[in-house]
Chain A
Amino acid sequence: MVGNVEPVSASVSKSQSVPVPAQDIAKTEKEAAFLARSQALDLAGAFTNDGYKIRDGFWSFILTHGNPHILIVQLFAKNEYWFSGAAPHSGKRIKLEFFDEKGIPVEIKTYGGDGTVAAGLVPQMSGAYFIRASITEGKPVPFCLVYSYK
């Protein structure tokens, strides 16, 4: 059984009538990506109170409806993992799914907030696992995922 966050319809912002310079768009996107990472780390920080250590790396990209991203990771049996993701202003549209190296869904616990999502699992076998991140509807959003373990 795969847990997921229930989708909530998000309001779509009105498009601007005045063209925005390219460098301003890039700066805005950069700021949005930074905010996503910052919020993901904030969420992961909550788990450190329970003895989890945050891994230094992160997975960051623009999440678009209909175009899920898949990442491969190596996880170890009996380690406890929490994957914390954030996409500011995305409501509850983010979905995380986990699969073993055969591509079979893995049972996870999930937590979802406004613009954040966390998935916890304790692998029974060491090996490669796949994480699929997707957005259920609406406009593209910058997304960042970090993980912690103990």
Chain B
Amino acid sequence: MVMMFRTNTRFLQGFFHLLALACGCIFIVSFEGQCQSITATEQAQAEHIESFSFPSAGEFFVALAKVGRPNWGTVARTPLPTGIAERPQIALSLGVLIADGYITVENQNSQEMKNIGRELLEMARKLNAGDNVIGRCSSLNDFAENNDWNSLHEELDATRNEIKISLVEQKDVDLVFLVSLGTWLRCIEASSALIAVNYDAQIASLFSQSQVAQKFLDRIYALPERLRNQGLIRVMQEQTFALEKIMKPLANNEISQEQVVKISELSAEAIAAIAGIKGQLPSASLPDQENSSSTNASTKP
């Protein structure tokens, strides 16, 4: 009987061992089936398409509206460069103007939208892209007249596309990404100026865009030497390089207030350079610091 007991025990032990092994196998198969991560090499080789991989201004503002209600009415318009400007500066300014269009949609300022429509056409003409956008700018005016803010969003997207198509047709593809860069910098600058003063971790996390900055930097590095060595492009390179570093989230996946302040300063310097303003535009500061001059966050146009 003892021997039978021992045999049964051994049998049970063997059975449980087999059961555990079987469960382990099932677990492993399921785990592998679910966790086919991509490797660092695959990540490094991932494709990047400008019109797909760079975030659109529309997406950014939609995300911003979900987590907060920035007071866009306090954001000052960026001055346009005066006098004769080089084509890269015009392209960057066009991008900034497009971003101002989105900000104006958020602010629902009809008159300002009409002004922007007019200025867009003027700037586009300087790049010989006016013909493509005449109709779009007219639509911007009509939608602004009717306070059709939803349609204005889409019309701004379409206007941006028409400008880019025109530049591609002119074989001026280097300017296409500069338009995107101008839009991105202005979106970052305007929103970070507001968030730096009224910090919110959830809103700040939207500035986790280190890879976007890296990709813009890659495009700058890929410019022909004659363009890359222009003063304004070098400023864009410096600011974008610094932004790439500061836009990395901390260990807790957050973007701190200090980071937002720095992002605001860097992007403000870039925007000032695009506008041809010497020195830095006034930027937001931490609440416990005195404001020595009016800021973008607090000055009405």
- A121-136 Cβ-contact flags toward B at 8 Å (1 or 0): 0000111101010000
Q: Which of B37, B67, B161 contacts A105 (CB 8 A)?
A: B37
Q: Is B208 within 8 A of A58, CB to CB?
A: no
- B74-110 Cβ-contact flags toward A at 8 Å (1 or 0): 0000000000000000000000000000000000000
The answer to the question of A10 belonging to the interface, with a C-beta cut-off of 8 Å to chain B, is no
Which of B38, B48, B160, B161 neighbours the largest number of chain A CB atoms within 10 Å of its CB? Answer: B38
Which residues of the partner chain A approach B37 to less than 8 Å between Cβ atoms?
A: 99, 103-105
Q: Is A57 within 8 A of B51, CB to CB?
A: yes
Assess A128 versus B38: contact at CB under 8 Å? Given A55-B52, A57-B49, A59-B49. no
Which residues of the partner chain B approach A132 to less than 8 Å between Cβ atoms?
A: 38, 42
Select from chain B the residue with minimum beta-carbon distance to A132: B38
Which residues of the partner chain B approach A127 to less than 8 Å between Cβ atoms?
A: 208-209, 211, 249
Q: Which of B67, B153, B212 contacts A78 (CB 8 A)?
A: B67
Chain A proximity of B160: nearest CB distance (Å): 8
Chain B proximity of A29: nearest CB distance (Å): 19
Q: Which of A1, A58, A101, A128 contacts B52 (CB 8 A)?
A: A58
A98 to B66, CA, bound (A): 23
Q: Is A125 within 8 A of B253, CB to CB?
A: yes
Assess A57 versus B47: contact at CB under 8 Å? Given A78-B66, A103-B37, A126-B206. no
Q: Is B47 within 8 A of A70, CB to CB?
A: yes
Residues of chain A in range 8-62 having any CB-CB distance to chain B below 8 Å: 53, 55-59
A76 to B60, CA, bound (A): 7
**Chain A interface category by residue count:** 20 to 34
Chain A proximity of B179: nearest CB distance (Å): 13
- A87-116 Cβ-contact flags toward B at 8 Å (1 or 0): 000000000010101011100000000000
A59 to B55, CA, bound (A): 14
Q: Is B48 within 8 A of A72, CB to CB?
A: yes
Assess A99 versus B62: contact at CB under 8 Å? Given A71-B48, A73-B53. no
Q: Is A103 within 8 A of B43, CB to CB?
A: yes
Q: Is A130 within 8 A of B253, CB to CB?
A: no
Q: Is A74 within 8 A of B209, CB to CB?
A: yes
Q: Is A79 within 8 A of B63, CB to CB?
A: yes
Q: Is A57 within 8 A of B34, CB to CB?
A: no
Which residues of the partner chain B approach A103 to less than 8 Å between Cβ atoms?
A: 37-40, 42-43
Which residues of the partner chain A approach B207 to less than 8 Å between Cβ atoms?
A: 126
A76 to B253, CA, bound (A): 14
Which residues of the partner chain B approach A79 to less than 8 Å between Cβ atoms?
A: 59, 62-63, 66
Q: Is A126 within 8 A of B205, CB to CB?
A: yes
Q: Is A57 within 8 A of B52, CB to CB?
A: yes
Which residues of the partner chain B approach A76 to less than 8 Å between Cβ atoms?
A: 55, 59-60, 62-63, 206
The answer to the question of B131 belonging to the interface, with a C-beta cut-off of 8 Å to chain A, is no
Assess A71 versus B34: contact at CB under 8 Å? Given A77-B205, A130-B46, A149-B62. no
Question: Which A residues are closer than 8 A to B by beta carbons?
Answer: 1-2, 53, 55-59, 69-79, 97, 99, 101, 103-105, 125-128, 130, 132, 147, 149-150
Apart from the given pairs A105-B37, A126-B63, 13 other A-B contacts in the complex at a CB distance below 8 Å: A2-B34, A56-B161, A59-B49, A74-B209, A76-B62, A103-B43, A126-B205, A126-B208, A127-B249, A128-B210, A130-B38, A149-B62, A150-B62
Question: Which B residues are closer than 8 A to A by beta carbons?
Answer: 34-40, 42-43, 45-56, 58-60, 62-63, 66-67, 153-154, 157-158, 160-161, 202, 205-212, 249, 253
Provide 7 A-B residue pairs closer than 8 Å at the C-beta atoms, listed in order of the A residue: A59-B49, A71-B46, A73-B53, A76-B62, A78-B67, A103-B37, A105-B35
10 closest residue pairs by CB, A with B: A57-B51, A76-B63, A57-B52, A128-B211, A74-B55, A72-B46, A70-B46, A103-B37, A78-B66, A103-B38
